[in-house]
A and B are shown apart, each in its own frame.
Chain A
Amino acid sequence: MNIVVLIKPTPDVTKVRFDVERGVVDRSSAELEINQFDLYAVEVALLIKEVLGGSVTAVSMAPPQGERALRDAVARGVDKAILLTDGRFAGADTLATSYTLAAAVRKLGGYDLILCGEKSVDGDTAHVGPEVAEHLNVPHAAFVTRVVEVSSNKVVVESDYGDAYYLLELQLPALISLSRPVVFRDRVVEPRTPRLGDVLKARRARVEVWDAYYLADVADLEGFGLAGSATRVVRVFNVFEKDRNSITVSGEEGVDRILEVLRSRRLV
């Protein structure tokens, strides 16, 4: 089983500063780490490999400092790490990002299963996984809460449709995007903590770096980065809080106040 895990190196959103003037993240304000949701994709990939054998390849499209996240993936046990980095990839929206990731997967060739997290903590779209699947013309399941069974030619998953969870059988190759918490067979998946020895080893591990030209035989360079993006961010604001006329009370008065609110809304 050849598994590809798509990892987005993301900043810690609680620490990152946002340059509202320029509409971009102040990259110096936080180091890049594996997107929280992608940690589950890495873990599930490793669990599947334990059962079926094969290899796990991590692919990220990121600026050079994204390498740190890939080394973390290596420390956790992925066999190979590829960083897609090039000025031509910059400014990509979900269309261009998914096009680039799909090109890299095509370049790798011989894949059976692609795993990714449900969404990223910064972009927050949940769109990249399904778009990658469309570019590769393979089936996908999104918001997967359980990987029920996986064999050499198919995977059975439980996917959140909104009103209910549906059971889907996908022929491989296929892509699945994982929610959290996620169950693998009967076990709730908890991302492992890499061992110190593995962290140290991962520091010296090779992270392959691919640029735009390296993908020229499998993709159209015009499809990458800002040039390949169909959307533009025209303005960005910090979220201003809704004007809540916050009242602070304590003790017994609190109960009275809550009752007042409930009564004014005819709930009691």
Chain B
Amino acid sequence: MWSGVLVYAENYGRGLKSSVFELLGKASELRTRLGGLVYSITLASEEVDVHAEELIYYGSDKVLVYRVPKELLPNQLVHRDALVDSVKALKPKLVLISATPWGRSLGPRVAAHLKTGITADCLDIYVDENGDVVQVRPAFTGNVIAHIKTLRTPVIATVRPKVFPMPEPDHGRKGDVLCMKLNIPGNDVAGVRVLGVAREKLVKLSEAEVIISVGKGLRSREDLRLFEELAKALGGQVACSRPLVDVGWMERDRQVGFSGNVVRPRIYIACGISGAPQHLAGMRDSEYVIAVNTDSSAPIGRYSDLLVVGDFYEVIPKLVERIKELKSKL
């Protein structure tokens, strides 16, 4: 009998991802309809107890910890073996994985191994009147939303970070911790050797609360300073549409959209961005959208809460000036 929800707690050597706790919140909610327990599985080389405790505070009843040598932690095939092993041991009805690049690479390997279905980048998961798990996801570059059922067990889904609320941890919560063993053949597990970190990310846009995004209307790379100044004043991040990455003025880490980053800030200010479907796919779920555009008919207007028709070369410096004035008065 398959029951309960298993949350895969992503850690490849940099600590638990915060989106794991969002998954635990959702798992606790779904469990009331699906029965069984909330399980989590994680791999760790150190701080094993701390991780397990946190997972319990956020809703796990039972935590499986696979202890692996530090150098193997970033090897995805080790995680595949552990996750497959835990699914076989626990028989959960549903497995939740964060739809980070790591999760969207690991999840499908696990699903193919178990010959079951996997639904990518879900925006919601619910249990319908028949007691079936339904997964909600975007397709066609975000133009349509599909509701999907999985006919086999377990149901596996990768879930977009920040779509489920962060639950409150309960520091008095108790749960079981099981230390698990994995047979690991050697340093290059099944043909993969992790040589190390090549580059750090310049910025994690998906975590930004305020984003000032610039588009093709930008005339020179130097003019980016304008936006950096505004971002600094608001404690936000500068981002861009694809053309600025293509010409090499901005890094891929700052691109918003279908082939860049999906963001959900509290405020998204789109300056000189027309609102192509591929750009919207990355920012349409922002809490509040402001667009600054010379063209009042630009599609971005329809996706904005506030459309300022004007030249951002005039609007943004004025805005920065006014913010400075305000701050100096304090």
Contact = CB atoms under 8 A, between A and B. Distances in A.
Contacts, number: 281
Contacts of A98: 108, 112
B196 A167 contact: yes
Contacts of B303: 241, 244
B190 A235 contact: no
B267 A234 contact: no
B36 interface: no
Interface residues of B, number: 95
Contacts of A193: none
Interface string B238-257: 00000001101000100000
B171 interface: no
B235 A145 contact: no
Contacts of B296: 248, 250
A16 interface: yes
Given A124-B121, A261-B267, A234 B151 contact: no
Interface stretch (B20-28, B51-59, B98-106): B98-106
Interface in A133-149: 133-135, 137-143, 145-146
Main secondary structure of the interface of A (DSSP, over half): mixed
B241 to A, nearest CB: 14
B323 to A, nearest CB: 5
Contact of B140 (A13, A139, A258): A13
A130 B80 CA distance: 11
Interface of B: 12, 14, 17, 74, 77, 80, 100-109, 111-113, 115-121, 134, 138-152, 188, 190-201, 204, 210, 233-235, 245-246, 248, 252, 258-259, 266-267, 269, 276-277, 284-285, 288-290, 292, 296, 301-310, 315, 318-319, 322-323, 326-327
18 contacts: A16-B140, A95-B115, A122-B139, A125-B108, A125-B120, A141-B105, A165-B199, A167-B196, A169-B193, A180-B259, A230-B116, A231-B148, A231-B151, A233-B147, A249-B306, A250-B309, A261-B288, A265-B266
